[in-house]
Amino acid sequence: MIALIQNALKYESRIAVKYATEKYTYEDLLTASEHIALALLNGKKDLKEARIAFLVPPGFDYVKLQWGIWRAGGIAVPLCVKHPIPSIKYVLDDTKASKILYAKEFHEFLTPLRSAAENKFVDIENIEASKGTLPDVDPQRRAMILYTSGTTGNPKGVVTTHQNIETQITSLTTSWEWEVDDHILNVLPLHHVHGIVNVLSCALWSGACCEFLPKFDATKIFEIFCKKEVNLFMAVPTIYYKLIAQWEKLPQEKQKEISAVLKEFRLMVSGSAALPISVLEKWRSISGQTLLERYGMTEMGMAISNSYRNERLPGYIGLPLNNVAVRLVDENGKYVSGGTQAEIQVKGPNVFKEYWQKPEATADSFTTDGWFKTGDIAVFENGAYRILGRNSVDIIKSGGYKISALEIEEVLRKYPQIKECGVVGLPDEEWGEIIAASLILESEKIDIDELKIWLKEKLPAYMIPRKYIFQDDLPRNVMGKVTKNELKKMF
């Protein structure tokens, strides 16, 4: 039996999933997922890694479908509830999904696709009971395909095995000391490793409770927190930014109530995008919590994390997790020591199996001795790793210098009139690239000459942006991460 499902047998009477006023036990989840698995098998002995896509809102239905697909021997392909039809179609075509399970609220949305292959689409309310036995699923079998946005070309399907997922879960539950009495609120998209593994699967592995809020709402999040049931929270920097903004609007007495509740949390984590130090410091002043920063990718889950118990350095991502090996390698493929900027490479049982139906892309992503090439640039200093940016979008090569866009952004955010910013490199014949900054302002006007004078006191001349645009917001993906290639086009 799959280890995650086997574990659930120990916690049958405990609450596994909470959604609004509804509560579901682990026994409910085991029963419902078995029902789904047997219906998918429909008399067959094993789905033998057939791809089963599903489009449902966050909640109990999502979990029972995911577990049911796994228990039937299929590969789960979760679809993003915010993606347009062309994006959904791309995933379905690429995986050649044999079934698409969907909640009734997506019936009309899926009409353009359903008319072409009606028999493949199944409303989950119409899934009928079936009898049979479930297959014994080997841990090395493919379990899930998640699609990465990528920096160029079409998204790639990242294939993880049950063993990969188990390692990703156990490295986090060990390092972050998950407990059976933990209760976490999940506000993250469930087509992404952050929401699926770090939050949902870690909770269910531990016998804990995962509560769902289907749509981000800062007011509702604070209302749930004030019930004093939730003791863990994991989110992206954008969410913390919005929670701060909401807290600042509240009356002083309500602020005090929320701050007192937040101080009692066991753990708060930020990930999926670089956490501005200004956001970390403001959240700490509100909540008493120093957000735990970590580093990971769809291809490997989490690989590096700040310490749960010891000091967390703002701007740093910490050290490798249990069962994960990490090294820094320069452009010539040579291992580098501390203090040198280089690419992060990762090896371990957490690393994905392959890109779906893309053997060349898979081979290109690994060294000859089996290290996964992340494309992220970091430096090891002060006893921890610090991310400098994505090689292709956050590292700007200008006038012979390698410049971290993230470092410039961190300085710009400290300027009183700048609320948020995004920095990119633009092609330039003379310099290779020049630095450009998009600014989101606190007020209507800003004196760029005064800003440049201020920047000269904070940064070397070669790191000061030469071009500026002003926007109401930055282009972002569904995880809240700034899409730098889209931002470049805006210049």
> Where are the domains positioned within the chain?
3-137, 395-489
Amino acid letter, 169:
I
Range of 110-119, 386-395, 442-451 with top mean pLDDT: 442-451
Kindly report the average pLDDT of the chain as a whole number.
93
Query: Model confidence at 297, in pLDDT bands (50, 70, 90)?
Result: very high
Residues sharing a CB contact under 8 Å with residue 330, sequence separation 6 or more, in sequence order: 336, 340, 342, 343
Taking residues 268-297, report their average pLDDT. Answer: 93
> Is residue 251 predicted with pLDDT exceeding 50?
yes
Give the right CATH number for 395-489 from 1.20.200.10, 3.40.50.10860, 3.30.300.30, 3.40.50.720. 3.30.300.30
Whether 39 and 62 have beta carbons less than 8 Å apart is answered as no
Residues 42-77: tens digit of each pLDDT:
999 999 999 999 999 999 999 999 999 999 999 999
Helical segments of 301-389, H only: 359-364
pLDDT for 151: 47
**CA–CA gap between residue 82 and residue 80 (Å, rounded):** 5
The tokens of 17 are what? 């999933």
Helix (H, G, I), strand (E, B) or coil at 250: coil
Reported as type and span, the H/E element at residue 301 is strand 301-305
For the domain spanning 3-137, the CATH number is 3.40.50.980
Residue with the bigger pLDDT between 368 and 430: it is 368
Q: How confident is the model at residue 126 (pLDDT cuts 50, 70, 90)?
A: very high
Mean pLDDT, rounded, for 296-301: 95
Q: What is the pLDDT of residues 328-340, one digit of tens each?
A: 999 888 999 888 9
Q: Is the pLDDT of residue 203 over 90?
A: yes
Six-digit token string for 443: 């007020």
> Rounded mean pLDDT of 290-311?
95
CB burial class (10 A; 0-12, 13-18, 19+) of residue 430? Answer: exposed
Interatomic CA distance for residues 467 and 247, integer angstroms? 34
Q: How confident is the model at residue 150 (pLDDT cuts 50, 70, 90)?
A: low
**Chain segment 436-491, per-residue pLDDT in tens:** 999 999 887 899 999 999 999 888 888 999 999 999 999 998 778 899 989 999 99
Tell me the C-alpha distance between 289 and 41, whole Å: 47
Rounded Cα distance between 25 and 125, Å, is: 20
What's the pTM value of the predicted model, to 2 decimals? 0.88
Residue 382 has pLDDT above 80, yes or no: yes
Q: Check: CB of residue 440 under 8 Å from CB of residue 469.
A: no
